[in-house]
Amino acid sequence: MANLAFVFGLLGNIVSFMVFLAPIPTFYQIYKKRSTAGFQSLPYIVGFFSAMLWMYYAFLKPETTLLITINSVGCFVQSAYICFYLVFATKDTRIQTVKLLLSLNVVGFGLVLFLTQFFATEANRASIVGWICLVFSLCVFVAPLGVVRQVIRTKSVEYMPFLLSVFLTLSAVMWFFYGLLRKDYNIAIPNILGFSFGVIQMVLYLIYKNAKKGGLQEKQLSEVLEVKIEEHKISELKEQIIDVVKLGGMALEIIPLVAEDGIILGGEKTGSLE
């Protein structure tokens, strides 16, 4: 069982590493635009805090090397994302990000560390930190409900990448079996919810993946029809102008007259276009 738990933990490390790399396209867009407009720093700060909590929990438990390795990578990657975000953020956004980072990752984690070290016994310290990790992970897994609601409302999967949903689901499966085989339910229980939401997201993607294409085709068809209608109106207008000119059939012609006393006189006459 220990060997099987190691296999699932190793696979969990690999899949979780792929999840950590998922935001790279987002930060590439930030780099190209030289702006963080439209993007939030909260997911990366929360991810950083989660990795810190789980790494602290892993240090309190025996034989948790795989938890330490992946959460060490998570701390490094998330902190790199936050630093990159701060470089291109506006002054107000930078201040808000720093405040959030200090309140959650410094003050929040500091309180957890202080209270569990000085007010909890060595026997129940790991259990208390495990429950904190469990509750926080459940809150993190519930967060995608906003995206699910948006997909159902707009019938579009534009803001729900399929590959990310797949990797999150696989990650939840691996860590669930790792926790189950180790009889560590603080790890296993949150990943049941993570797996459930991952499956829901993939099902919604399969349902609405063609809705966006259909919407785009309808929009393009509507634009083409509008252009055709405008061209037809312009063509009709031109024909009407030509008909009016033909029916009026009048043109002006300047007739030079004799200059008298240094003053040039002129006149005009009308004539048919025919």
27-31, 158-162, 171-175 — most confident range: 171-175
* Per-residue pLDDT tens over the stretch 57-77: 999 998 889 999 999 999 999
237/33 Cα distance (integer angstroms): 44
Would the pTM of this model clear 0.75, i.e. be above it?
A: no
CB 12 within 8 A of CB 174: yes
Please tell me the distance from the alpha carbon of residue 269 to that of residue 251, in angstroms, as a whole number: 8
* Segment 102-140, tens digit of pLDDT: 999 999 999 999 999 999 888 899 999 999 999 888 877
Beta bridge partners of 272: 250
